[in-house]
Amino acid sequence: MSNVTHADCEYQFQLCVGSLKPINLTVGNSSNVTHADSPAVGDPCSDNSSCPENSVCVSGQCSCNVTYQEYNGSCLIIKAPAVGDPCSDNSSCPENSVCVSGQCSCNVTYQEYNGSCLKVPAVGDPCSDNSSCPENSVCVSGQCSCNVTYQEYNGSCLIIKAPAVGDPCSDNSSCPENSVCVSGQCSCNVTYQEYNGSCLKVPAVGDPCSDNSSCPENSVCVSGRCSCNVTSYQEYNGSCLKVSNLALGKPVFASSNFYSWYDGEGWENAVDGLTNITEWKKLFHTGYEVYPWLSIVLGRLALVRSVTVYNRVDNYGRWLHNVEARVGNSSDWTKLSSCGTFVGPSDTGQVHVIECGNPLPGTVVTVKMVKPNYITDEPAAANGVNCLVLDEVTVEGVFL
């Protein structure tokens, strides 16, 4: 059986195996003759299982997979063209790349990844999260959008000049955070201040702090919070306002005059800034009555912390007792808020500070003796009659 070929075997209804030694087939006719050879690329097929390894059945014929090539009927793996490979033309480069100066390079809107060219994400592309968007952009409602201080250009996000305080504007949207458009120019909101074009919150009383430098003017950091210097300043709307004598030189009205004085004479003595007066005609002095009073008109709204009454220094100081101070916006005693009361009796030359507790708002401060006189060694003070005589009255607080 030397020089036996497959053709010889087939003709004789035999199958050649091994070294082409024929064996007899037990089939009835030549139409059932098969080969013992392995399936090869190009063979007819009905499905993938009838094709060689690394191939598939395509249109009834075995074909190599994409990254394989045919060699002698088998499919051998080949190196896929990659970015950076040498090339002679575009056809020898991977998808979405071109041959530039003899080397495969990705197209403009693609970027290299593991030798392949992937599309560069662009503004406007669909997205599921920020990681699928280009640099300086975020995923908003399923679409890549530039961050606030960036603008889109050719699918990328380029930084733009952030709006700044002082920039021209048409509405608030064109101004930086915490600012508004006023007269065509961006300006910080009331409780913010400009710093390098931005609006920073003005530190306020009550804000947390680490040291005095992080607190507003005239305040200090106490137990981690900004607090006004309580002896000299009053907190209002987060600021520390300097406390002063609000009554100095203001108009004064009283319940009566000393009997020998004309109407209104000497009332101004209560707010002239002078104390330790020894000349009685320079004192504030009402007539004799059960409930004498004086009212100081501040002229504008203020926060009153305390009212201080300076008793006369010449004599009869013990006649001062049960003095109440009230604050408000009316000449009607019953409509004013009580600051506090000095009960007494006082003594000659004493100074009495009536603390309001919480500061009281108002434009009028009234001081009144609210109990009948119980001093009996002065004939003029019989039947509970009082006489309000003072060196000075000061009102400590801040104008708003």
One domain, residues 336 and 385:
yes
Tell me the three-class secondary structure of the chain, residue by residue. CCCCCHHHHHHCCEEEECCCEEEECCCCCHHHCCCCCCCCCCCECCCHHHCCCCEEEECCEEEECCCEEEECCEEEECCCCCCCCECCCHHHCCCCEEEECCEEEECCCEEEECCEEEECCCCCCECCCHHHCCCCEEEECCEEEECCCEEEECCEEEECCCCCCCCECCCHHHCCCCEEEECCEEEECCCEEEECCEEEECCCCCCECCCHHHCCCCEEEECCEEEECCCCEEEECCEEEECEECCCCCCEEECCCCCCCCCCCCHHHHHCCCCCCCCHHHCEECCCECCCEEEEEEEEEEEEEEEEEEECCCCCHHHCCCEEEEEECCCCHHHCEEEEEECCCCCCCCEEEEEEEEEEEEEEEEEEECCCCCCCCCHHHHHHCECCEEEEEEEEEEEC
pLDDT tens digits for 155-173? Answer: 888 877 778 899 888 888 8
> Are residues 34 and 99 located together in one domain of the fold?
no
Locate 247 and state its tokens.
């009554």
Here the tokens at position 102 are 């003899």
- For residue 82, being part of any structural domain is answered with no
Same domain as 332, residue 307: yes
* Rounded percentage of the chain residues whose pLDDT exceeds 70: 87
Cα 333 to Cα 79, 192, 201: the distances in Å are 102, 41, 42
Burial of 3 (0-12, 13-18, 19+ CB in 10 A): exposed
**Same structural domain for residues 114 and 217?**
no
Residue 120 pLDDT more than 90?
no
What is the model's pLDDT at position 379? Answer: 63
Domain of residue 233, residue span: 212-242
Looking at the structure of the chain, the number of domains it has is 6
Flag whether 84 is in a domain: no
Say how far apart CA 6 and CA 33 lie, in whole Å.
11
Residue 27, pLDDT above cutoff 80: no
> What integer pLDDT is reported at residue 262 of this predicted model?
66
Residue 20 has pLDDT above 70, yes or no: no
Give the residue from 47, 1, 46, 45 showing the smallest Cα distance to 24.
1
Q: Are residues 183 and 306 in the same domain?
A: no
Same domain? For 262 and 351 the reply is: yes
**pTM exceeding the 0.85 threshold for the entire prediction:** no
Q: Could you tell me which residue, 149 or 254, shows the higher pLDDT? A: 254
The chain-wide mean pLDDT, for the chain, equals: 84
Residues 280 and 345 in one domain: yes
Half-sphere exposure (Cβ direction) of 111: Cα atoms closer than 13 Å: 5
Q: CA 342 to CA 317: how far, in whole Å? A: 14
Joined tokens for residue 308: 């201080």
Q: Are residues 68 and 111 in the same domain?
A: no
Same-domain check for residues 183 and 142: no
Residues 338 and 384 in one domain: yes
The answer to whether position 72 is within a domain reads yes
Average pLDDT over residues 327-354: 95
pLDDT digits (tens, 9 = 90+) for 191-248: 788 888 888 888 888 889 888 888 888 888 899 998 888 778 888 877 788 889 999 9
Instruction: Assess if residue 166 is contained within a domain.
Output: no
Angle at 88 (CA atoms; ends 83, 93), nearest 5 degrees: 30
Phi/psi for 90 (5° steps) reads -65, -30
Task: State mean pLDDT over 92-105.
Answer: 90
CA angle 227, 229, 234 (to 5 degrees): 85
Q: Is residue 206 part of a domain?
A: no
Q: Based on the fold, state whether residues 179 and 73 are members of the same structural domain.
A: no
Please indicate, yes or no, whether residues 11 and 101 belong to a single structural domain of this protein. no
